Amino acid sequence: MAVRVQHDDFDVSAETEKLIGGRTDIGAIVTFTGRVRGADSERQIEALTLEHYPDMTEAEMARIEAEAHARWPLQASLLIHRVGELHAGDNIVLVIAASAHRQAAFEAAAFLMDYLKTRAPFWKKETMPSGETKWVDARAEDDGAADRWR
């Protein structure tokens, strides 16, 4: 079990190997990588800046991870979230859930992401090509996704 908040990028393969390399009791590894979307039909962004609440962020991520371990038989897990200024195509978040069988790993990874998005104290601010900035609004769909695990 581990959680990390960092400015630097992460390498999914290296993190996976570090987490579960050499272990033979793990039959299923689900990794999720969240990335910065640069443009969609409604907007284009120049940069995305992530602010967080130091100490609470790590504490909340650890609580979310512990909750996943209480609900599913996980052998290992890792949560990494980046902060600071990011750009289109950059990695933002990594979740790894490892278990003996795939169902627990799939479900735990989805749970970890749903709870991260609705409980971990991070805030995104978008910078437009014009230089204008805007705080990203929370999405009701994210609350709905988290509620299904209650």
Minimum gap (Å) between residue 49 Cβ and other proteins: 10
Strands 122-127 and 133-135: antiparallel
The reply on whether position 81 binds other proteins by CB under 8 A is: yes
Among 30, 60, 77, 108, indicate the residue that binds other proteins (CB under 8 A): 60
What is the size of the binding site for other proteins (CB under 8 A)?
28
Other beta carbons less than 10 A from residue 109's beta carbon: 23
Segment interacting with other proteins, rule: CB under 8 A, options 8-16, 37-45, 102-110, 134-142? 134-142
Q: Are 111 and 30 in contact (CB under 8 A)?
A: no
According to CB under 8 A, which one of 34, 47, 85, 127 is a site residue for other proteins?
Answer: 34
Find the binding residues for other proteins in span 98-117 (CB under 8 A).
113, 116-117
- Rounded Cα gap, residues 101 and 47, in angstroms: 39
Q: What are the CA-CA distances from residue 120 to residues 82, 84, 88, 135, 144 (Å)?
A: 12, 16, 22, 16, 16
CA of residue 124 relative to chain centroid, distance: 13
The window from 13-21, 52-60, 68-76, 96-104 that contacts other proteins (CB under 8 A) reads 52-60
Single residue of 76, 92, 98, 109 touching other proteins by CB under 8 A = 92
Nearest to 77 by CA among 108, 54, 107: 108
Interface with other proteins by CB under 8 A: which residues? 34, 50-53, 55-56, 59-60, 81, 92-93, 113, 116-125, 135-138, 142
